[in-house]
Amino acid sequence: MGVKSRSDMLARPHAFLYDRRSFWNFEPPRGQNPAAAAVFCVRTLRPMAEIDIFKCELRARTGTGGARAARREGWIPGVLYGGGDDPVAINLNQHEIQMAYNAGRLRAHLAKIDVTGEKGQQPVITRAVQIHPVKGNPIHIDMMRVDDKTRIDVEIPVRFLNEEESPGLKKGGVLNVVRHTVEVYAPATAIPEIFEIDVTGLEVGDSIHASAVKLPEGVTLVTTDRDFTIATIAAPSALRSAGEDEEAEAAEGEEGEAAEGEAAAEDGAAKEE
């Protein structure tokens, strides 16, 4: 088999950029960078499983040396704890973890680990991820065993709907997001994906509070002592400037009237003398 030309090598992106099960017939559009097109397809078209299943094996050698050896062999070292059992050192499949991390499914998502030599799959939640300071990829993971009775605190992202139906935004107002996530207690096996908040009918100056979030059954807010603000409809800069000018003019008018009153009082006192 002869050496392929550069154009032949770019005819199909490198294997790690796409899932062969879903894109084995993938051909990038003409004139588009193949690698970039592959990444786009992975993030938007690839069917996503509800629960990731990670290959896992118990790690006999612990410490820095054992972690480095695991990475050289294509694993990500980690620790598995909770569930009433002792913590154990584990290795996780590097490719599977990286794909879940890239898709934003590694944290606050229920997953399962398939431990070599053991029957069944253990439900887990990733509680801590150590990232390489330069490469930006996961290099160590802490996972917690969970079951139907486990409740954990997680931060759920917020999405705003029907912005085109908000009179305040139509007038040029700005959606000022105070909190991009809301922290809740949730069953580990039923963590919400996202909270959606409808802004229909909101005017400039209106606020969206925690009470506007529709919580699924069994999910409660971590912060319960106040109805905290999630977002506000702020006035556009043009309206704020006009309002500030009017306030300044009013203040100047009041100062002028006060000065005239003081001058008149002084004149009256002088005439009496």
pLDDT, one tens digit per residue, over 60-79 is 888 888 899 999 999 999 99
State the pLDDT at residue 50: 63
Domain ranges of the chain: 6-44, 52-145, 151-235
Classify 52-145 by CATH class.
mainly beta
Q: Parallel, antiparallel, or unpaired: how do β-strands 110-115 and 52-58 relate?
A: parallel
Q: Give the C-alpha distances (Å, rounded to integers) separating 20 from 15, 26, 31, 101.
A: 7, 9, 23, 19
Q: Give the C-alpha distances (Å, rounded to integers) separating 38 from 31, 43, 99, 104, 148.
A: 13, 9, 13, 18, 37
Q: What is the pLDDT of residues 110-127, one digit of tens each?
A: 999 998 878 889 999 999
Model confidence, pTM = 0.60
Structure tokens belonging to residue 229:
């603000």
- Second CATH level (architecture) for the domain 151-235: Beta Complex (2.170)
pLDDT tops 70 at residue 34? no
